[in-house]
Amino acid sequence: MTMVGLREGDVFQNMVNYGMFTGGLGFHYGAEKIGLTVIPSATGNTRRQIEMIQDFGVTAIHCTPSYAMHLAEVAEEMHADLPSLTTGLFGAEPWSDAMRGELEQKLGVTAFDSYGLSELFGPGVAFECPERHGLHIWHDCYFVEIINPDTGEVLGDGERGELVVTPLAKEAMPLLRYRTGDITMKLEDGCLCGRAQKISRITGRSDDMLVIRGINVFPSQIEHVLLRIPEVGNQFMVYVDRINHLDEMTIEVEINRSYFSGELQDLARIQKKVVKELRDTLELRTTVRLVEPGTLPRFEGKAKRVIDRRDQK
Ligand SMILES: [Zn+2]
């Protein structure tokens, strides 16, 4: 945050989940440490978030880029100007330079990409500097390698692969060559800001992990939940869409006839149960669509259960 120019006197609104998501307290403590005034607004109630930005004269915000887009649209609907804003820190999901341009124009901020993992101190593992051409990864804190995710071979600068990190300063939970699953590459040194060791912005995953509204979801977790519910089968399909800039996940699952009376209210009960069980495990609201037994595709080879229809424009 110091690197992007935030200083004592700045007012920082942290619009992410507090609790186990390290973007909450991680950014909060960091901001306090460098003397910012912190508004721990957390997530939800977008109109109120906008009122808080106005009331407190907020200069910097942190949230997921998709939520920032939603915020911009709600502000537009409210005819609310946000003249105090100068800086947007966005992370927890991949986003494009096109989206950066749109956010900057709509919110009047300079937007910076933030990268972090709960396993490695949380946010700020790597961050964009004012040049905004790649993220500086803290090479005094981490030993950084890029590998071919299939063979494990270590790749050179400019070669795209999976980021592998060995923290050098972490206590109590040491990690050796931790595979992040995130796809990036090392960039050549020589940033105009004078700092060293940059990686490119994250472009995807080496596994099947999905990032939904900043929360990590593995299809195997969904399978695990469905296996516990006798009223449904264990075949499923996941559809991910971006509606009004927010991620929406729909899960299709087959009903198990022997547990289904045929009554409409029974259908509603089962659907509610699946939604609740999924929410308890994934900590995520989903839409569940029950379908006839035998209608979902069966896979012989590697199952393709996820259809991600979000455009990463
Ligand atoms: Zn730099």
Please check the confidence at residue 189 and state whether its pLDDT lies above 70. Answer: yes
Considering Cα of 250, then 255, then 256, then 261, what sign does the dihedral take? positive
The per-residue pLDDT for 165 is 96
Which pLDDT does position 118 carry in this prediction?
A: 87
* pLDDT score of 128 more than 80: yes
251-304 confidence digits (pLDDT tens): 999 998 888 788 888 899 999 999 999 999 998 999 999 999 889 988 766 678
Distance (Å) from CA 62 to ligand 1 centroid: 20
Question: pLDDT at position 207, please?
Answer: 87
CA of 165 to the centre of ligand 1 (A): 20
**What is the band of 238 on the pLDDT scale with cuts at 50, 70, 90?**
very high
The percent of residues in the chain predicted with pLDDT above 90, rounded, is 66
Give the pLDDT of residue 260: 79
Ligand 1 center to 144 CA (angstroms) = 17
The overall average pLDDT reported for the chain is: 92
pLDDT for res 268: 92
**Separation of CA 118 and ligand 1 centre (Å):** 24
Range ranked top by mean pLDDT from 111-125, 212-226, 292-306: 111-125
Indicate the pTM of the whole model.
Answer: 0.82
Measured in Å, residue 193 CA sits from the centre of ligand 1 at 4
Residue 205 has pLDDT above 80, yes or no: yes
pLDDT value of position 121: 86
Q: Report the separation in Å between the CA atom of 195 and the middle of ligand 1, taken as the mean of its atom positions.
A: 5
Residue 168 CB neighbour total at 10 angstroms: 12
Beta-sheet pairing, 210-212 with 186-187: unpaired
CA 163 – ligand 1 centroid, Å: 19
3-state DSSP assignment of residue 103: helix
Domains of the chain: 1-128 (3.40.50.12780), 132-206 (2.30.38), 211-308 (3.30.300.30)
312 pLDDT higher than 60: no
pLDDT band at 141 (very low <50, low <70, confident <90, very high): very high
Per-residue pLDDT at 125 exceeds 90: yes
Q: What is the pLDDT of residue 203?
A: 83
CA distances from 77 to 70, 80, 103 (A): 11, 8, 16
| Centroid of ligand 1 to alpha carbon of 134 (angstroms) | 8
Highest-pLDDT range among 15-24, 122-131, 300-309: 122-131
- Structure confidence at residue 109 (pLDDT): 98
* Cα 223 → chain centroid: 21
Q: What is the pLDDT of residue 204?
A: 82
Lookup result for tokens 């009004």? 244
pLDDT of 158 above 90: yes
CA of 196 to the centre of ligand 1 (A): 7
* pLDDT on residue 227: 86
Per-residue pLDDT of 64-105, as tens digits, reads 988 898 899 999 999 999 999 999 999 988 788 888 999 999
Is the pLDDT higher at 311 or at 21?
A: 21
How far, in Å, is the centroid of ligand 1 from the Cα of 192? Answer: 6
200 CA distance to ligand 1 centroid (A)? Answer: 12
Distance from residue 186's CA to the centre of ligand 1 (Å)? 13
What separation in Å is there between the alpha carbon of 283 and the centre of ligand 1?
36
Residue 36, Cβ neighbours under 10 Å: how many? 23
On the question of pLDDT at 16 being above 70, the answer is yes
Ligand 1 centre to CA of 123 (Å) is 18
Helices (H) and strands (E) in the chain, counts: 6, 19
